[in-house]
Amino acid sequence: MENLLHVTPIVDNQFVMFSGKARWGWTALDDAARVAARVLEEGEKKHASKSYWLSTEALNGDEAAEILSEELGTKITCDTREPEELEALFNSGKTDIEITYAKNAVDIMHQIQDGRMTYMGTIRDDVPYVTGTPSTSFREWVKIHKSELLGK
């Protein structure tokens, strides 16, 4: 979700997604941090060899734009682009991103588009299982970050 604040922020009421019309899982960074903290607190006896999925909900760009529009009170649209354009963004120097991470992100976008990673659009929310507290929905996240999303 935080990509909308830093990597592909809303500019002129529009944000960019680089995976076509495919749905993929959305996760709030705070939820990932809470899971990581719990795993570190409880240690390997409980969490060794476990794999947690933090996909709170699956949305494509248009679905995310609809929620953003409703919560921000202004029409927001999604500009769907190709993975090569994400690579160009990373190479432009306009984002502060580690190069290996950037290359992997481009590869993931290719795999989401071509069907090798359709599971990325699957909802499997282990946040409540690990932390004992609910995860943050995209709508809740937008409400929390409304002023940042509106550039205020």
Enter the tokens of residue 6: 């830093």
Per-residue pLDDT, 132? 96
Per-residue pLDDT, 86? 82
Residue 108: band (very low, low, confident or very high) from pLDDT cuts 50, 70, 90: confident
What burial class does residue 92 get, using C-beta atoms within 10 Å of its C-beta: 0-12 exposed, 13-18 middle, 19+ buried?
exposed
134 vs 89, residue with greater confidence: 134
Angle ∠(72,76,80) on CA atoms, nearest 5:
145
Q: Quick one: CA dihedral 137, 127, 123, 148, positive or negative?
A: positive
Do the Cβ atoms of 56 and 135 come closer than 8 Å? yes
Do the Cβ atoms of 133 and 38 come closer than 8 Å? no
